[in-house]
Structure 1
């Protein structure tokens, strides 16, 4: 029986499960049969959004997690129409490397002919041509290669600028902002600049909600974790013990507390996390019951003392 509800991405995106599975450092660390069973169980629970971007870069060791996903869904008997595929498009080589070329290679690797959602990677250069980028994205939508698109860790101003250019190009514009969000990293998703964008229909996809496992109880993560805006990771590691105590008082796990907190944001359409074990998936799904039992307002009050980036990060975003 499906237990994971769905919310619309933006104003014109598809209905996505409020929990979504990422592939960064997951399937390539798992036994194949275990991965098949996990993805099959996720779909049976109602999870329909899978982020399977290509996370390898020139000069780095080759990665295959997206290629594995194509085999996993086939072995699990999951039809393409039964899940939403989210891809990443990286901007480091753009526009010399056209978006279409990059996307077609990514789709070839994952065995699909379209992406239901595309998320643009971080802006790392001051001269990025947002008008041209918006036009290229509109072309991908018109060609049927992309259903809708969003951005990953952009500033609110850049999101608004890109949206204006997209509307001029005939695209609905970004439907989603993927942002780091956890009880410790709150300044950007909870800030006024993004609140204005959320009020205008852009959705929030919460990512890195457990800080690479630190907030779930792993004091020494065994895999690469994301960037550390504000240089607050030491404070986050210190906060993990207190969050675990709050979770215990609620008869919940720290992971459930983190996921439930991010779901409490009114703009959240989906929370993205990676799991490599069935018990992690089951545990994270339990966050839905925790949120219903405790309530959004109370959860936010309980984790208020652990807000580590309050004065360390500009709410406008990078």
Structure 2
């Protein structure tokens, strides 16, 4: 597995990481992307390590808590050389997020709890999961920096932050990575957020790099998923949006056919071609999908391939909002 640098502070990771969210769901939605099989999830993490993947992404809200515990169980005895990333930023009550909480007191509390659940002595990359409008970013990053000084955290990150927030945070302590949604069907970071990251020397970690599975082409309409599945309420899976977005997927499939690859591999390869500072973290809970995703690191796209993909899925062309609720939309780019 090739390696890439996130930021300029010395954080080196595999070119493709593993997003662990779907292995246990989020805030009560354990089956948000289909049934959960914890044993297969552990086997998938072990297979990832065998294939050279060393960058694993989780968060306290995943489960909540279950996902960190699962990852901790999977890496026990295999911790050396791995980069473990987790996130804080929500007030969790009765297993559900009840708004943001990036107060220094909560950050210190959550860090200790995450370390215990993961069974590790230091968190390699700690993200603020969502910006808390009630707490100045300088105060939040200041508390995170104290954890670095205490030896509990190695590197700092933000998620779904706006350009000015990124600048203010980076002025307090170097930010090594920004995690935000980025894929062929979600390119709105390109005009302003990616340029700021590159100006400041911050790496970029795309979550949902397969468009919540849509770019694989192996999806159904929203109404065909069970009520417990996240995609049931995803606007981009619904009605005319589904039809319009599938037309873009057809272009991805055409490029894939030319390489003897899958559409998902092409979607990941496209991201890797956008810059050496980009490290996608496709989520999966199955070994076969993991192996497919990892193979994308070796897929070379031609100039004509990239032009065809850009034409089929330009910035802002995807039909439908990113999230199905105003509350979720309000938590991004702030």
What TM-score, normalized to structure 2? 0.78
Q: How do residues 154-193 of structure 1 correspond to structure 2 at under 5 angstroms?
A: 154-164=161-171, 166=172, 171=173, 173-188=174-189, 190-193=190-193
CA RMSD of aligned residues (A): 2.8
- The whole-number CA distance in structure 1 between the counterparts of 2:284 and 2:235 is 21
Question: CA separation of 1:193/1:66 partners in 2, compared to 1, >3 Å: closer, same or farther?
Answer: closer
Shift in alpha-carbon separation, 1:308–1:134, aligned structure 2, 3 A: same
- SS at structure 1 position matched to 2:311: helix
Q: Deviations over 1:145-204 (max 9, x none)?
A: 11001111111111011112x1xxxx3x2111112111121121x224531431331111
Q: Distance in 1 between matches of 2:181 and 2:235?
A: 10
Question: CA contact under 8 A between 2:19 and 2:207: conserved in structure 1?
Answer: no
CA displacement, residues 234-253 of structure 1 (integer Å, 9 cap, x when unaligned) = 44344223322332233210
Q: Is the 8 A contact 1:13 1:148 kept in 2?
A: no
| Partner Cα separation in structure 2 for residue 140 and residue 101 of structure 1 | 11
Other-structure match for 1:133: 140
> SS state of the match for residue 118, structure 1?
strand
| C-alpha separation in 2, matches of 1:131 and 1:199 | 20
Separation in structure 2 between the aligned mates of residue 123 and residue 228 of structure 1, nearest angstrom: 24
Residue in 2 that maps onto 1:9: 6
For 1:149-298, list aligned pairs within 5 A. Answer: 149-164=156-171, 166=172, 171=173, 173-188=174-189, 190-220=190-220, 223-224=229-230, 234=242, 235-291=244-300, 294-295=301-302, 297-298=303-304
Distance change (3 Å), C-alpha of 1:100 and 1:249: same
What is the distance in 1 between the residues matched to 2:304 and 2:46? 34
- Large movers: runs of 4+ above 6 Å: 226-229
CA pair 109-237 structure 1, distance change in 2 beyond 3 A? farther
Unaligned runs of at least 5 residues, structure 1: none
Name the counterpart of 1:66: 68
Deviations 1:276-296 (A, max 9, x none): 2221111112212212xx34x
**Structure 1's 83 and 62: CA in aligned 2 closer, same or farther, altered over 3 A?**
closer
User: How far apart, in 2, do the equivalents of 1:273 and 1:67 lie?
Assistant: 20
Which of 37, 41, 51 is the equivalent residue of 2:43? 37
Please, what TM-score do these two structures have when normalized by structure 1? 0.82
Distance 2:199 2:250 in 1: 34
